[in-house]
Amino acid sequence: MLNVVVLTGRLVADPELKHTASDLPVSSFTIAVNRRFSRNGEERQTDFIDIVAWRSNAEFVCKYFKKGQLIAVEGSIQTRTYQDKDGNKRKAFEVVANNVQFAESKRESEATEFDQSYSSSTGKITDVSVYSSGEDGDFETLDSDNDLPF
């Protein structure tokens, strides 16, 4: 049997880190994924897909991602049943993330925010930062082009 899901979408909200009773880190978040095709004359539809990340994946997502960022998720579909507050039996479908990655660069992510406020700006980019991965895996701002690692 094969159960593999690969998605790229934008985070609907900032992910939040929680811990189970046994202190396992977990994060549940939703991504908006555009459908591939649209009918003639209609806008492309968007699906909102629930994702669950555990342990280091949950910590990674909560530390480095925020609402609106493009994220790539590889995992598997999981179903579970539960009773809602009215006692009705319900079934939930979610993707359990095995691997989570950036799907756009930091600069592209910031450009998306810039584009949203572009009409009220002067049309000039005044602050351009270059980022490099630091020794501990965090991103650090480099002061000039002479500090580029390539």
> In the predicted model, is pLDDT for residue 39 greater than 90?
no
Model pLDDT, residue 123: 38
* Class of residue 87 by CB neighbours under 10 A (exposed 0-12, middle 13-18, buried 19+): exposed
The two structure tokens encoding residue 37: 């095709």
Residue 131 CA, distance from chain mean position:
19
Return the closest-CA partner of residue 29 out of 84, 67, 77.
Answer: 67
Enumerate domains of the chain plus CATH numbers.
Answer: 1-104 (2.40.50.140), 105-150 (no CATH)
Model pLDDT, residue 37: 82
Instruction: Express each pLDDT in 99-150 by its tens digit.
Output: 999 998 877 766 554 333 332 333 333 333 333 344 444 555 555 555 555 5
Distance CA 39, CA 111 (A): 30
Instruction: Express each pLDDT in 4-27 by its tens digit.
Output: 999 999 999 999 999 999 999 999
Question: Mean pLDDT in the chain?
Answer: 80
Output the DSSP codes for 126-144.
----EEEE-TTS-EEEESS
